A = this chain, B = another copy of it.
Amino acid sequence: MYSTNLIGFILAVVSSAFIGSSFIIKKKGLQRASLNGSRASGGGYGYLLQPLWWLGMVTMIVGEIANFVAYVYAPAVLVTPLGALSIIVSAVLAHFMLNEKLQKMGMLGCLLCIVGSTVIVLHAPQEKPLSSVEEIWQLALQPAFLLYTASTIAVAFFLILYCAPRFGQTNILVYIGICSIIGSLTVMSIKAIGIAIRLTIEGADQFVQFQTWIFTMVAISCIITQLNYLNMALDTFNTAVVSPIYYALFTSFTILASAIMFKDYSGQSISSIASELCGFITVLSGTTVLHSTREPDPPVNTDLYSPLSPKVSWYIQGNGEPWKQKEEDGPPFNLITVIRQDHFK
């Protein structure tokens, strides 16, 4: 492994550890909030009074920042697939802290994620050094990448305007497709901003250049679009189904975008590229195996709710409505997990 890749790798792993544990900490907070629910006057927002829930949010934000910085040091083809490690952290912590026992197949899923990630890390290409945002701007203006951008925007508009109203509620690929395609542009612009910040800290101010601000605007619009449709996907379909598909599509489009823009694979041997592809398929299979073992938690009616059953207690928000448990099911992967509408409802 190359030395800059090593920094990116460590940051990506740290990020996954934080994001993975943030879900468990928040879930703990929600459990406590619902146990106190009848006494506290917080209504549906009781969990906002729980320090644990806020600790979980902070943990998640730290994780996302680490993920952001990881993109500065290592190619996206290394950082993005490692997002799957957060699932393992969640699953293992849930086993010990929430008594959601990991089954034999769940452990096999974790093992596959680790093994696949190892292969990806071992064969990830080294990033070409970049000395200015203008250089990244030139990379973004390459005909091949312009074609990629134009195609993704066209497909995204087609999905948003034509498919989403018609098939969005029935075909899981519509909302996830929008998120994943836009997500690949998010990562590319986030990476440009990250590099701009690094260069600025190193002394070469990049924020005087208009390109940095264009990347920032692209990043903000992409993140908002992505969050919107990710929420719609998670509100419509089961997290256990959404997560692996989202991981597969998001990672694939990001790798494709990065390969076109940064020419990650030029000079790489066929053997390295094939190994990395195999590693990616292994991680993907691991997430599928891991999620296949999770039984969907049934919705709980408050009237029937017993505070003696902590496993489901966090569903319930004192206001009598069954809490639509979604985001605590497990992380739907980095960078796009910061803000969920549920957090504020």
A274 at the B interface (CB under 8 A)? yes
A122 in contact with B275 given A105-B292, A108-B289, A289-B108 (CB within 8 Å): yes
Residue of chain B at shortest CB distance from A119:
B278
A285 touching B111, Cβ below 8 Å: yes
The majority secondary structure among interface residues of chain A is helix
B122 touching A274, Cβ below 8 Å: yes
Min Cβ gap A105→B in Å is: 7
Q: Mark A79-119, 1 if CB is under 8 A from B, else 0.
A: 00000000000000000000000000100100110011011
A288 at the B interface (CB under 8 A)? yes
Interface size, A (range): 20 to 34
A123 at the B interface (CB under 8 A)? yes
- B-chain residues with CB within 8 Å of residue A285 when the two chains form the complex: 108, 111-112, 115
A138 at the B interface (CB under 8 A)? no
Residue of chain B at shortest CB distance from A271:
B122
Bound CA span A292–B109, Å: 13
Q: Mark A1-25, 1 if CB is under 8 A from B, else 0.
A: 1000000000000000000000000
A232 at the B interface (CB under 8 A)? no
B115 touching A278, Cβ below 8 Å: yes
A67 at the B interface (CB under 8 A)? no
Give the contacting residue for A115; candidates B105, B271, B281, B288; CB below 8 A: B281
Apart from A119-B119, A119-B275, A123-B271, list 16 A-B contacts with CB within 8 A: A105-B289, A105-B292, A108-B285, A108-B288, A111-B281, A112-B112, A112-B285, A115-B282, A118-B274, A118-B278, A119-B279, A122-B271, A122-B275, A123-B275, A278-B279, A289-B289
